[in-house]
Structure 1
Amino acid sequence: MDTDRLILRPWLESDAESLYRYASDPDIGPIAGWSPHASISDSLGIIRTVFAAPEVYAVVLKDTNEPVGSCGIMFSNGLHSANMTQREAEIGYWIGKPYWGQGLIPEAVNALLSRCFNELDLDAVWCGHYDGNVKSKRVIEKSGFKYHHTDHDAVSPLGDKRTEHFYRMTKEDYNALHINRERQTDR
């Protein structure tokens, strides 16, 4: 998938060094519920396992061809946090700290939402963030998700209990959002 500034493509084993560069930062993983990568070998293992799942993409800058983050669509039969039905999915994402605040992840999420609703014909898409992850919350809000509920004492992949906030977008929400955006663009 291509956006204005990004290519979303499957992860390659040759991406391990770039993945480690950004995923080893202690400000990235723990707030999202995963441990910082400890080595390039650790990152390679993640590429071969977690990132080998269908619909998991490297967020690659068109200008440099470097992967600087990850995003993906998770279904009810795989690893996910939201309590969803078979025709729903959850979107997850992260990006390296040097790229925070540039609107790159909302751009990637927009591409994933288009895939979910226009190609995979899903009924709804979920997105969530742990309490305190204000950057992730901002992406969710920018992308047009609507707050749905909060789970207290949710166990993160790190094994600790956290408060997790969930947001949802239906296909109808998505279509209405894009009609409104087109109207604003036409003005």
Structure 2
Amino acid sequence: MELVIVSASQRSQSQSAKVARYLNERVEGFSKVNHIELYQYNLPFWDGSAETKSAAGSRWPIISQQINKADALVLITPEWGGMASPLMKNFLLMCDKQDTAHKPALLVAVVSGISGAYPIAELRMNALKNNKLVAIPDHLIIRNVEQVLNHDKPDDERELHLRERIDYSLHMLEQYSEALKTIRYQHQNQPFPKQQEYSYGM
């Protein structure tokens, strides 16, 4: 199985990318892991047309190919002003349901302070309707991110619990990935009558 980790900070050397690297090191149930650091791709802002994705200089086809092959995704966003990052929202708008439908996603919020719940709520509420990604019930909020996941051994008990929660969440993502393979297979090989009429969520 393949996993794609998407980190959506608009900054280089970001804490979101640091978290992505840590998760990559902890993954056990996936044979291949790709980390997409969105700021490196300079993607065009989606204007609602498919042509935007393939505009001159767009590197979206590279990302789309990786997403298509993936069995699951981890979506990591910093909290900016209580919101998910613009790069994450643009990425999710560009995702085609042919690449993402019925694939599980672990949502991760990264924040320098003690908040972090708003980006998770935002993504659960309105980011998955048309791309048909399936957010698993577990999510992660990495609070005080500058102080955690920096060393091989945790500095305190709170970080130890965080690391254990990360391992559990990645384990559950693997379980959902295995289970949803059946849904994707049946969706492709035993389609619902007039299935194409229900391509988008209500």
TM-score range, shorter chain: 0.3 to 0.5
Give the strand-richer structure, 1 or 2: 1
Higher relative contact order, chain-length normalized (CA < 8 Å, sep 6+): 2
What TM-score, normalized by structure 1, do the two folds share?
A: 0.35
Who wins on radius of gyration, i.e. which is larger?
2
Give the helix-richer structure, 1 or 2: 2
What TM-score, normalized by structure 2, do the two folds share?
A: 0.34
